Amino acid sequence: MDTRGQTRTALITGASSGIGLELTRAMLAEGWEIIALIRSGFPEDDALLRESLGTKRLRVYKAELTDFGGLRHALERIKTREEKIDLLFNNAGGSFPELGFSKQGRELHFELQTVVPYILYRELKELLLRGQSKTVINTSTSAFRLFRRFDPDTLEHPASFRKLFGPYATSKLALSLWTREEASLAASEGIRLLSVDPGGNNTLRSGKASGLPFYVEPLMKFFFPHPRRGASRLYDAAVDMREGLSGAFLSNGRVTNLPFPGEGRRVLEKVRALYEQEFLPTPHA
């Protein structure tokens, strides 16, 4: 797609750290305008980020994404102030160190990494339709590839917790499944939906508790690549215009089969119901 001479705009969640930060830096360097929907601020010692904030090429909207009240307010501001979105990167997430629940009472991984991306897709659809690429990239994982069981009914309130291979991985599988299931309807409206595994990246942050098993942390620290690689995989997927790609799960740049495809409809019905029954209704004053 030839976008020369046109303003290209991407919205990135989780843009202030890890893969999201590297994606933001790389796209700003290429001339993109970035809408950052984030909880915490950007590093203050980065000249490119400071300059981009000053020129409004980087525009920040803050919200705790798992708090529907704050998220609703941030999205209203975005829809009022922004003209279009070419690419939407649902990238916010991570593996938490213990079981936790959102303000709405659901398991945090599921809320943040499965439900919120669906809400953002639905709420920002009109801005996407005004854009050129009209593409949504949902950051997933391959950590679920060895699952023997998957029950969508346990996503909201899991009976047990396991670092990385528990609610983190199940929520990412659910994300990829609803992406696959929703893709046909989205394509009929001109929007592409993809879920993408950015691969293993060294996203360890000093002073922050890790949600990784003890044996994974040293491997990540010494052997995993810089988050730039993961950012590159997300961006490459976003600009990949192969026909028939919508709905695919990409791992290492290749279309990869998802486990439990028969559960996709149940997952989509679940997140759609949460969006329509909990997020859409106007809260009482």
- What is the CATH number for 235? 3.40.50.720
Calculate what percentage of the chain has a pLDDT beyond 70.
Answer: 89
- Based on the structure, what is the number of domains in the chain? 1
Overall average pLDDT of the 94-114 stretch: 96
Averaged confidence pLDDT in the chain: 92
- Per-residue pLDDT tens digits for 124-158: 999 999 999 999 999 999 999 989 999 999 999 99
Overall average pLDDT of the 108-117 stretch: 98
Asked if residue 2 is part of any domain, the answer here is: no
Of how many residues is the chain composed?
285
Domain range for 103: 9-279
Neighbours of 167 (CB within 10 A): 26
> Residue 285: pLDDT above 60?
no
Asked if residue 173 is part of any domain, the answer here is: yes
Residue pair 152/270 in contact by the 8 Å Cβ criterion = yes
Q: Quickly list DSSP for 80-107.
A: HH----SEEEE------SS--B-TTSSB
Asked if residue 284 is part of any domain, the answer here is: no
Residue 68 neighbours by CB under 8 Å, 6+ apart: 103, 104, 278, 279
> Residue 215: pLDDT above 70?
no
> Residue 103: pLDDT above 90?
yes
Asked if residue 232 is part of any domain, the answer here is: yes
Q: What pLDDT sits at residue 219?
A: 67
Asked if residue 285 is part of any domain, the answer here is: no
Residue pair 267/177 in contact by the 8 Å Cβ criterion = yes
Confidence of residue 6 (pLDDT cuts 50, 70, 90): confident
Asked if residue 4 is part of any domain, the answer here is: no
Asked if residue 3 is part of any domain, the answer here is: no
Asked if residue 1 is part of any domain, the answer here is: no
Confidence of residue 208 (pLDDT cuts 50, 70, 90): low
